[in-house]
Every structure is written in structure tokens, then in C-alpha cells.
Amino acid sequence: MPSHDALVIGAGLVGSAIALRLAQEGLQVALLEQSAPGREASWAGAGMLSPAPDSPAAIPLVPFGRASLSLYAQFVGEIEEISGRQTGYRSEGAIELLFSADAERELSTLIALHHALGLPTEPLPLDEAAKIEPALTRRAHAAAYFPYEACIDNRALIGALLAAAEISGVKMFPNMHVSQILIEHGRCTGAQAEDGTTFKAQNVVIAAGAFSGLLKGIVPPLATRPIRGQMVAFNSHEKTIRHVIRCDRGYLVPRDSARPQRLVTGSTLEDAGFDKRVTAGGIEKILSTAQELVPQLSNAEIAETWSGLRPDTPDHLPLLGPAGVDGLTIATGHYRNGILLTPITAKLVREWIVEKCVSMDWEIFDPLRFHRAKEESARSDDSPSENPASDNEAAGDQAGRKFAHK
Ligand SMILES: Cc1cc2nc3c(=O)[nH]c(=O)nc-3n(C[C@H](O)[C@H](O)[C@H](O)COP(=O)(O)OP(=O)(O)OC[C@H]3O[C@@H](n4cnc5c(N)ncnc54)[C@H](O)[C@@H]3O)c2cc1C
């Protein structure tokens, strides 16, 4: 029966970064992955590193996203150095185009909201936008510039991170589908795989992304659900754009690490269970937005289409922290921001396990919050909102706020 100091379940960006941080502390770490490591959401994502909120529900995430972004350059430098691989990190910033008749007012609202959240977003005059990105459409009515944003080739990053973890001593177990978390006398003692292998450990970390809610043995079960996102990549022989370009319906992300340059464009937000099919309707919507942003893409060669499953939660915020049972820590539910949030998540989980206390407020991400809210409402017999996220969204819409697509 294999025995380790820590088991990490799920070899996406989140699990691999946590495994690396724990191994760097001298812990014997096993990283258990149900299929090939790094081939789920962490592979499928667009790689934008944007702490800007993409909906009113994401506003509480902004400080966490800013903290993670501030760690990114160093995180990537370290991973590249250990692994000897490049990750395609670039920090040119992002441009958002606004198309509505009321674009100027929307721009002022967006800038005011971002400044209140500590994000130095700037208005970008349209002639300036055309100078720095000549391929952009001239049909937008206003533009904003996000000089602090970055992006990364997340496929390159997950490859480098897995290599760095292995070099640092993490033991990989690919094709190891964990079915059951083992709890004995109020303590988590390990996990059991579908093939019957039992792994014993002092610490178990759940980083199984959209699949986390399927794990048996965790009470209450983790409130994750998959939200499908479809994607398209173009081959771009003449480096069509340098910045991430977005609007409220989609985005374009340049990836120079591929030869020729690739432009990754997305996406859809679909509640389709674990179905990862790419559909005509999804691709049509993505292609029409991409061509609206950069008209010359109507002649571009489509290199690839794919989809991935974002790990969503009822309030769209991550599930992070101790799970109410000794030895069990949760790190999942990163929804549309898991690539951005990987460094800060790994930092916090290392602090929980190694230092037993953390350096940031994390209570809004408490993995037991839905359960606690249910218990409280049963006690007070007060009926709370059925869906806090949609209440927030309605409030945001009334305030006339503008949110970009991620
Ligand atoms: C189309 C799309 C675009 C996105 N764009 C962005 C973006 O621009 N910026 C951003 O920050 N985020 C983005 N995201 C979100 C981001 O990709 C995710 O939040 C992040 O990758 C989640 O990482 P993870 O490691 O938690 O999950 P995953 O990468 O899904 O990894 C979880 C792993 O756990 C494994 N696993 C699951 N169950 C078990 C089990 N029982 N036993 C063993 N292993 C198991 C899975 O096989 C998987 O490899 C996007 C996502 C999608 C789908």
C-alpha cells in the first residue's frame, strides 16, 4: 500500500502547482491523475491572466486575482528554470472594444468600477487603438486598455509545470482514477482508486477541477459542476495581433510560442454536463465574434477546435481551504480563472499544510460555505436567496456595469 506525506488528486495546473510547492518543502508527494496529466481545463483554456471581473459575481475574486497576477512573472520564471521549458508568458496587456451606442458611458462606468477595485484600466482613444493594433476593426465605439494584464500559453505551462514537479520529486500516477476519499475517525487518511489501490497519506488535497463533485467520501459533496467552453485556434502567419483583444462576446489571444503564431479565440458558456463535443452553433458564434474584432480573420486558416470543462460552483467562486476533516484540503472550483489563480492557490495550500495558517483572507472561498448557509437558514427558518450569483448579476446589470467575456 503506497504511503506518502501528501496526495494531490488531479494533475491540472492547480494540482500540479500544489504538488510542486509541497515537494519543495521536502514532503513525499503523489500526484494522482485519472487520465493523461494536464489534458482537461488547464489544457483547454485561453490563457488570459485577467483579474478584471467578468460578471458582478466575480467582483469578490478581484483581490485574489490581483494577488495571483502579482506572483505570476516570478512563478513562471521559476517553472521555466526548473523545467528548462518555455511557457509563452507575455505581459503586453489587453484591449477591450465596446460596440454599443452607449459605449462612452459604458467605458466611464467600467473605468470607475476598475479604479474602485484597484485595477489601473485606462480609456484608449480609438485612433490610438488602431495605431497599436492595425488589424482591429474600425467599427468599435470605444476602447479600454488593461496595461497590467498578461497571458500565457497554458498548454506550454502545464507541460513545464508537470516536468518541474517531477524534477522536484513529485511521484506521478497517471491513469489512476480516484473513486473514494478515505475518512477514518474524523480524519482523512488517504484515497482509494477505482482499481482498488489504496494510497495512505497525512494530507489529501482535492484538485480534480470540474470532476471534484464526483468524488465519494467527502461530506457534504463538493459543489462543482462542469461548464463547457468551446474554442478555435487560427494559424496566423503574419502575427496579426500583439495584445489580447476582447469584447463582451468573446476574445482573441495571441500565442507566439507556436510556429506559425496561433490566435486562440473563444468561447461559449454551456451547461452540457461532461459532454465535450464541439458544436456547429458554438463554433459559429466564436468565429463571428473573432471576425468582428479582427475582420481579416475571415481569410485565416482554422488550425484546431476543441472544448473544455470549467469547474464552476453555485456562486462562481472557488472552493478553497480545509474541508472540516483533519488532513483534507480543497482547491477547486476556479471556474473561468483557474490559470490566473494557480500561483496564489498553490501558495495558500502550502501555507495551510506546512504552516497551518494562511497569509490572506480566504473565508469567502470556504469549501463548506453552502453547507453552512443551509444549516444557518434551517436554524433561523429564514429563506435565503436561492441563487446568490444571479441576484448579484441582476444588481450589477441595474448599475449599468460593463463586463467582458472570459
Ligand atoms: C474554454 C476555456 C477557457 C478558459 N480560459 C481561461 C483563461 O483565459 N484564464 C483563466 O485563468 N482560466 C481560464 N479557464 C479556466 C481554467 O482553465 C480552469 O479554471 C483551470 O484550468 C482549472 O484547473 P484545475 O487544475 O482545477 O482543473 P483541470 O485542469 O480540469 O484539472 C483537474 C484534473 O483532475 C483530474 N481528475 C478529476 N477527477 C479525478 C479523479 N477522480 N481521480 C484522478 N484525477 C482526477 C482530471 O482528469 C484533470 O486532469 C478556461 C477554461 C475553459 C474551459
Per-10-residue mean pLDDT of the chain, 406 residues long, equals: 92 99 98 98 98 94 98 98 97 97 97 98 98 97 98 98 98 98 96 97 98 96 97 90 96 86 95 98 98 96 97 98 96 98 98 95 94 82 47 35 61
| pLDDT at site 129 | 98
| pLDDT at site 1 | 72
Pocket-testing residue among 7, 8, 14, 276, ligand 1, by greatest number of atoms within 8 A of Cβ: 14
- Atom of ligand 1 minimally distant from the CA of 340: 11
| pLDDT at site 387 | 43
Residue carrying the nine cell digits 510542486: 20
Pocket-testing residue among 7, 18, 34, 283, ligand 1, by greatest number of atoms within 8 A of Cβ: 34
Return all residues near 108 (Cβ < 8 A) that are at least 6 apart.
none
Helix, strand, coil abundance in the chain, percent, nearest 5: 35, 25, 35
Helices of type H across 118-276: 126-132, 154-167
What is the number of H-type helices and E-type strands within the chain?
A: 10, 18
Cell of 111: 473605468
| pLDDT at site 238 | 82
Cα–Cα distance measured from residue 222 to residue 180, given in angstroms and rounded to the nearest whole number: 13
Give this prediction's pTM. 0.94
| pLDDT at site 406 | 66
| pLDDT at site 280 | 98
| pLDDT at site 236 | 87
| pLDDT at site 386 | 42
Cβ(40) to ligand 1 under 6 A?
Answer: yes
| pLDDT at site 395 | 33
